[in-house]
Amino acid sequence: MVHKPANYDRWPKESLVKRVMELEEELKRRGQAPEVQRQERALAAAVTSIEADLKAAEKKKKKAAKFDPGKYSTRLIALKFAYLGKNYNGFEYQSSAKMPSIEEELWKALVKSCLIFPERPDEVDFGPWEYSKCGRTDRGVSAFGQVIGIRVRSNKPLPKEPQEEQTEGNGGDDVVMAEAAQRQAEAEGEKAAAAADVDHKKPEWDPIADEIPYCRVLNRLLPPDIRVMAWAPVLPPDFSARFSCRERQYRYFFTQPAFAPMPSSLEQKSGVKQGWLDIDKMREAAKMFEGVHDFRNFCKIDPGKQITNFSRRIFESDIVEVKDLESDLPYLGLPEFQPPAGSDGSHPKVYYFHVRGSAFLWHQIRHMVAVLFLVGQGLEPPSIVEQLLDVEKNPRKPNYVMADEVPLVLWDCIFPRLSDEEANAVVPGSSGDGKDSHDPEAEGDVEMVDSIDWVWMGEDDPMSLYGAQGLVTELWGTWRERKMDEILANRLLNFVATKPDIERKLIKGASSAPPKGIKKVYEGGNKAQFRGTYTPLFKRQLLASAQEVNDKYAQGFGFKDAEEMTKTKNWRSAIREQKDKNKKSGRSKAGGAETPAEESSS
């Protein structure tokens, strides 16, 4: 067997560090003086026979316990899981990242549990395991309904191999052998009949009760902020977590007020109370996203994919209040902090931008939310959404900042039951621009129902939810830790906001209002940004069009334009080869940023 060199590009960071330490230790040993080496050899020879026996026994034990994948069957399953993305570099594994990814943590748990058994466990390579993923969330983005498909080890017994019949003759002994074989067959037939009676009484293998508890096994090995919630034992034919998914739901959470408002006595007189959002106008603008539109002005152009179709179907888009949260700040109820029109109930309230769609472009939702925040602050009218969607009139995106990533959640992924025609509408390997998803003339079901029969944790065994290591038990600990942080920060903020008497004005001549021309603008995140005079979107610098971005990328690799490049056979392979040459020659990368493997809305 030819030895394959290690592919260090696919090694996780901790494996690389371990390997470097091993190599450093090896170099240190080789550089030692001969005298020290002789002393070490003498010391090694003085090891007692008992220690040697113990090592031999331990080695034998490890050898006996070596996992043999040939003894196990496998099956294709789907896993539905959740993660809090703040501490991760996104979902997809990237060897150059400083922070771990969700895929990296999944890989380590799958390998350690022997649910998959790669030849090189240190190299993250899902290729041999029929792996597919529904969405690729970016750094900091969370998911409560992420789905992957993967082939894993199963407890299902392997089918018994049929015994080969002897067909070769043996001269004069044929008759004797035939008679002996007949007698043996009759005896084995009687044994088989007796065994059949026993097997008939033995219950059949249950695909759930007798199967590996996949969720529990993985949750014991995954970090506490990544939890597997359900698995699917039965999947549709040709299932792909990416292409079989026809609806993705996202939620972007925010507070009302969005940032700390100033008391009326310190504010410049205007019709808008800073910090408070106009939810009705935001909802009016959000509804304009519904339907099939060209979203090139609501995304980041990725030249590495050479996308030319930016149309996406949005089934639903709305602003929704979260009713079941208690996180009041009493000082916001004082008259001097209230908006001019007033607001019912205690504050802050929590809302989310709710969006359901067939597929999304890169950073699409964070761009959509950023514009809604401008509308909510009265800086742009709701009609700005229609103007940005009119790409015939406005083919270039204004230069604006997209919203922060942490409040965004991939809420759920829906796999409806499809007809053969619908299932073939999106060809695996394409950009996902299927007729049923994005064609304005196509009739699509906007109320899709998930057809996968998920086995949720707790449905097999309630103690897997509420036991010592149950899912609810573990998540309660995660929630309470963060809740205590919130409570303490809440009490501190309320204390600081109410304790001082700002009417005392102990320093004469101290400013009682912020400088003129300075405005707070909320762009997502935890605080507002101080800006000068606000510049409306269409009076800002306009970025290059999608065609210009694609052409510039192609020209960086020696092509005339994007059309010539995409007509070239295997153009992606040609670009990879060119990048490798550039690296070897020390040249900087041509084109643009590295391309994500899949579309991402985050």
DSSP 3-state of 208: coil
DSSP letters for 119-140: S-TTS---GGGT-EES----TT
Predicted pLDDT at 428: 38
**H/E stretch holding 78:** strand 73-83
Instruction: Tell whether the model's pLDDT for residue 29 goes beyond 90.
Output: no
**What is the pLDDT, as a whole number, of residue 46?**
59
- The residue among 404 and 44 whose pLDDT is bigger is 404
138 part of the active site: yes
As a whole number, mean pLDDT of residues 347-352 equals 91
Question: What pLDDT is stored for residue 473 in this prediction?
Answer: 92
Contacts of residue 540, Cβ cutoff 8 Å, sequence gap at least 6? 398, 399, 400
CA distance 84 to 92: 14
Evaluated on CA atoms 175, 177, 178, 182, the torsion sign reads positive
Asked if 92 and 107 count as a contact pair (C-beta separation under 8 A), the reply is no
Range of weakest confidence among 134-138, 499-503, 551-555, 576-580: 576-580
Work out the pLDDT band at 595, boundaries 50, 70, 90: very low
* Token pair 């009687």 in the structure block, residue: 190
pLDDT at 336: 77
Q: Is the pLDDT of residue 331 over 80?
A: no
Considering the candidates 138, 302, 433, 450, report the single residue annotated as catalytic. Answer: 138
pLDDT at 200 over 70: no
- pLDDT category of residue 589 using cuts at 50, 70 and 90: very low
Which pLDDT score is estimated for 598? Answer: 47
pLDDT score at 593: 40
Which pLDDT score, from 0 to 100, does residue 86 have?
93
CA distances from 239 to 59, 130, 416, 508 (A): 43, 10, 12, 73
Give the Cα-Cα-Cα angle 461, 242, 254 (nearest 5 degrees): 75
Q: What is the pLDDT of residue 444?
A: 55
Q: What type of residue is 32? A: Q
Mean pLDDT of the 297-308 span: 91
Neighbours of 278 (CB within 10 A): 19
pLDDT tens for 132-189 read 999 889 999 999 999 999 999 999 998 877 655 544 444 445 544 445 556 565 556 5
Instruction: Give pLDDT tens digits for 358-392.
Output: 999 999 999 999 999 999 999 999 999 999 999 99
Residue 216 pLDDT exceeds 60: yes
Measured distance CA(239)–CA(149) in Å, rounded:
8
Most confident of 134-148, 165-179, 418-432, 521-535: 134-148
Q: Are 320 and 254 in contact (CB under 8 A)?
A: no
